[in-house]
Structure formats: C-alpha cells, structure tokens
Amino acid sequence: MTTLAANKPAYDGTTLDLSGKSGARAIRNGLATVLITLCFLIAVIPLIWILWTVVSKGYSLVLDASWWSQSQRGITSRREGGGAYHAIMGSIIMALMCAAIAVPLGVLGAIYLIEYGKGSKAARAVSFMVDILTGVPSIVAALFVYAVWITMLGQNRIGFAVSLSLVLLMMPVVLRSTEEMLKLVPDELREAAYALGVPKWKTILKVVVPTAFGGIVTGIMLGLARVIGETAPLLILVGYSKVINMNPFEGFMGALPTMINNDRGDMALPAAEARVWSTALTLILLVLALNLIARLIARFSTIKSK
C-alpha cells in the first residue's frame, strides 16, 4: 500500500479541457452543418413557394362568405360567383363514410396483431397484406372497386363507391399507426390487470385502448388527411355535380379535387382560374385542420415519451 501511494502521480490542480475540437473534427462538423442547412432549404423553399402561390391567388374567394355557403349551380366557366359548399360537403361525407369502415377494420386488425395473433402465421399473413395495401396507388384501388362494384355487381357510379376505394387507402394507415401505439403500452399494465383476474378482452377494452387512445385518434386523423385529397377514385367512380347532393348512395357528387379538375381546362378565363386556386386553398386548409387536430391530440396523449 505504501509503495502504490508513493508511485501515484501528484495532482497538480489542472483540469482536462474537452470542449475544444481538433481541426479535422471542426471541418467535418462545419461541412455537415452546411449540408444539413442546404438540404433543409431545398426542402422548404419549394413548399413555401407553393403555399405562397396558392394563398396569393386563391384567398380572395375564400374570404367571401358565399364561398362557404353556396354551390356552383348555374355557374359556367366564364361566369363569376357561386361557392364550394357542395364540394366541401361532398369531400367530407365521402371521407367520413370511408372512416366509418376503415377505422373499425384498422383498429381491430391492430388489436389482433398485437394482443392475440403475435407470431402466428395468420398474423404474418395479415401484416404482409397490409404492407402491400400501403403501397397500392389510389388509381389501382379505384379500378378494383370499379371492377367489382360496377362491372360485376352492375351498380352505378356513386359517392359510396368512392368511399369503398378510399377504405383500401386509409385502412393500412390506421392499422399501422394503431399497431405502433399499442406496442408502446407497457406490458406491466396488462400483467397488473391479469393479476387482478380481469379477462383479456376487458383488459384490452378498459386498459390498453384507453392508454393508447390519443395515438390511435392521431393515426385516424392522419389517415383522413391522406384520403381526402385523392382524385383518381373520384374521376373513376363518381361524376362531378355542381349542385348540392348529401346522399352518397344516389347521383353524382361534388368534391374539392373534382371541382379543381372541372375548371382546370378553362384556366385562361379569370373566373375559372380564381375558382381553381380558391378550391386548392380550401383543400389545403381542410387537410391542415386535420393535421392540427392530430397534433393537438398527440400532445395530450396519455403515452408520453421519456
């Protein structure tokens, strides 16, 4: 012990400075900072340019109260006036019908994958099919529904058919987001419920789903934002109508994407051009509202990251 103490170097009171960077490290750090900043600007500048173009050319009609309360009934491409009420309501109705089908399928499918079928062949098959649906283009989903609904069953082109095709696009988003949120629920909560004698189905209903509720709703809102701006299903499965139609099971329906498509061929006319840009801005505002709602729900979610 005496020998070790004698050989130990004396502390001279100085501290080791680790705050500085070597020349090579400083160059690499600066280069990485410049590249990241450039990538950020490359991504943001086109976005700001698009938003500025849409807002500057479409705000005039959006600020008019009649835009939100009137349809385009009797309005031609050369004539000014009318509103987008029929298209807004058509988009919302078809999206809500889509959600009424896609949300139960997506949530229940995620519960099966996480709580019941983990590791089973059936679960792997379901997960594989969901991965395929995630990458299916909207026009392929529309053509599939057209082949079944119109060609095979002999039904008409209506808004409900559009909702069926949108289900194929929204359901994978809801399922995957719900699946990830259920994975974040601590197993200790499940085990505590089982230890108290609570059945598994009641544990899922009363413990697991409420814990992940905020994230589940966020995924649903993002799924709605994903499908509400789709155009291909509208062009294939329902005709555009300038009048207000609240019945998705009969007749043509207006929607914001098809309202843009209806006037885009007459962009040389001032009235048609104003309607196109204003409809585009309305669609952006609708999607923005859905995303903001999803953000608020995520902020107040019961699952917090540490």
pLDDT in tens, 37-96: 999 999 999 989 999 999 999 888 898 888 998 888 888 777 888 889 999 999 999 999
The CA distance from 25 to 278, in Å, is: 51
3-state secondary structure of 117: coil
Please tell me what DSSP assigns to residue 283.
Answer: H
pLDDT band at 7 (very low <50, low <70, confident <90, very high): low
Please classify residue 214 by burial: count the beta carbons closer than 10 Å to its beta carbon, then call 0-12 exposed, 13-18 middle and 19+ buried. buried
Instruction: Give the pLDDT band (50/70/90) at residue 8.
Output: low
Q: What is the rounded distance in angstroms from the CA atom of residue 14 to the CA atom of residue 29?
A: 28
Fold of 85-299: MetI-like fold (1.10.3720)
User: Cα–Cα distance between 58 and 279 in angstroms, integer?
Assistant: 7
Output 232 or 23, whichever has higher pLDDT: 232
Tell me which residue has tokens 């089973």: 120
Residue 305 has pLDDT above 50, yes or no: no
Contact 215, 298 (CB under 8 A): yes
Check residue 301 and give its pLDDT: 61
Amino acid at 81: G
Q: Is the pLDDT score of 17 beyond 70?
A: no
Q: How far apart are CA 236 and CA 245, in angstroms?
A: 18
Residue type, 206: K
DSSP 63: T
Specify the pTM. Answer: 0.81
According to the model, what pLDDT value does residue 27 have?
Answer: 86
Please give the pLDDT value at position 6: 53
**Residue 285 CB coordination number (10 Å):** 14
- What is the pLDDT, as a whole number, of residue 259? 92
Going from the C-alpha of 303 to that of each of 172, 181, 186, 306, the distances in angstroms are 22, 8, 10, 10
What are the Cα distances from residue 282, in Å, to 56, 132, 234?
Answer: 13, 32, 17
- At residue 264, the pLDDT reads 85
Cβ within 8 Å of residue 122, ≥6 positions away:
none
